[in-house]
Amino acid sequence: MAQKQIPVISLKSFDRRKEEITKQLLEAAEVTGFFTLVDHGITIDEIEAQFQVAQNFFSLPAKVKEKVRHNPRTNNGWEYKAQLRPSTGAYDQKESLWLMRNSQWPSDQDVPNFRGTTARFMAKCASISDQVSLGFDEDYLVTANDPTQPDCISQLRLLHYPAADNASGTWRAGAHTDIGCLTLLFQRDKQDGLEICTGRESHTGFDVGDSFTPIPAHTGPIVVNIGDMLSTKKPSLVMLFLSTKRSQRTDCYRILTVAWSDDRLKSNFHRVRAREIGYSPPRYSIAYFNQARRGFIVQGPRKKYPPVTVDEYFKQAIERNFGQDPVKS
Ligand SMILES: O=C(O)CCC(=O)C(=O)O
Ligand SMILES: [Fe+2]
């Protein structure tokens, strides 16, 4: 099947071209669900510097990485092959480090320059995100995602998929949608594997029957997608069937009520795979998840769905992702 393209949008001269860019972004978000940003202001050197500190962290012995072990209650820290995907029923073949601005980070002693490099990178991701207003009143999402506020729960996720041989039957990241409002994804040259489902017609139930498009990895362009907070995530029979915990089943139903954009925007499935036959080199990627401020109320301008706080929504969403009850654990 011919490869479906996703729109490439330049942020060059944003202040002067704001209206034109906003129109392009909105159309891409409404129609395709994914788009690529170029001329966004983060240089290749800055992106490579962030990949380098990520690589330095992942190459440490497990007992050093465990100093910042993943906490399912907050969804911060280092996890190793710990994410069980309802879509595949298997653990993703990857390790990742989740960071919030005020969570525990690896020390500069263990990873030289980690804090400075990563803090600068997160700030740049936040300011790029500020340029993506998606049809909300100007500055509405900027205020909702304001990283200077202590209750802002936006996260940076550093990811490492180890090299694999004949990976048939395994997934580097099983099909999923993201839980936040807007994700910026950075890839590295020649480390392919990302596949996305585009279009309003896709995302039937739980990626079943949808067609996935490979997105070649390049250092520089940012792949952007809409997350569930802005969209509506419909539970599917597959998801309900795989969710054995009662709390997870409840969660599936409650997710129905969240759609900050009143269903205008679309949160689409994506996944990462290694080659079924032959060698796949390691893949590193970096995702910045705009996840708003805990106290913010998620409700669209047309009030199509009842209000939910970001805090309540987020707790349900990480329970679904990591199978833990963040309140009780
Ligand atoms: O590594 C990738 O390309 C995708 C990562 C991703 O989708 C996620 O962490 O939500
Ligand atoms: Fe994702």
Candidate of 83, 97, 155, 159 to mutate for ligand 1, largest count of ligand atoms within 8 Å of Cβ = 159
Please state the atom number of ligand 1 nearest to the C-alpha of residue 187: 3
CA–centroid distance, 214 to ligand 2, in Å, is: 14
Own/partner long-range contacts of 299-305 (Cβ < 8 Å, ≥24 apart): 299/260, 300/259, 300/260, 300/261, 300/262, 300/263, 300/264, 301/136, 301/137, 301/262, 302/262, 303/262, 304/259, 304/262, 304/263, 305/232, 305/257, 305/258, 305/259, 305/262
Digit-coded pLDDT (tens) for 243-287: 344 444 333 434 434 578 888 888 888 999 999 999 999 999 999
Residues 6+ apart with CB under 8 A from 259: 230, 231, 232, 300, 304, 305
Tell me, using a 6 A CB cutoff, whether residue 185 lines ligand 1: yes
Digit-coded pLDDT (tens) for 25-56: 999 988 888 999 999 999 999 999 999 999 99
pLDDT the model gives residue 4? 53
Nearest CA to 309 out of 288, 292, 327, 290 is that of 292
Please state the atom number of ligand 1 nearest to the C-alpha of residue 194: 3
Digit-coded pLDDT (tens) for 123-178: 999 999 999 988 888 889 999 999 999 999 999 999 999 999 999 889 999 998 89
> How far is it, in rounded angstroms, from Cα 18 to Cα 52?
33
CA–centroid distance, 328 to ligand 2, in Å, is: 26
ipTM: 0.99
Q: Angle 310-322/246-255 helices, nearest 10 degrees?
A: 130
Tell me, using a 6 A CB cutoff, whether residue 184 lines ligand 1: no
Tell me, using a 6 A CB cutoff, whether residue 181 lines ligand 1: no
CA–centroid distance, 178 to ligand 2, in Å, is: 5
Tell me, using a 6 A CB cutoff, whether residue 285 lines ligand 1: yes
CA of 172, nearest ligand number: 1
User: Which residue, by CA, sits nearest to atom 3 of ligand 1?
Assistant: 194
In this prediction the pTM is: 0.89
Instruction: Report which residue type is found at 6.
Output: I
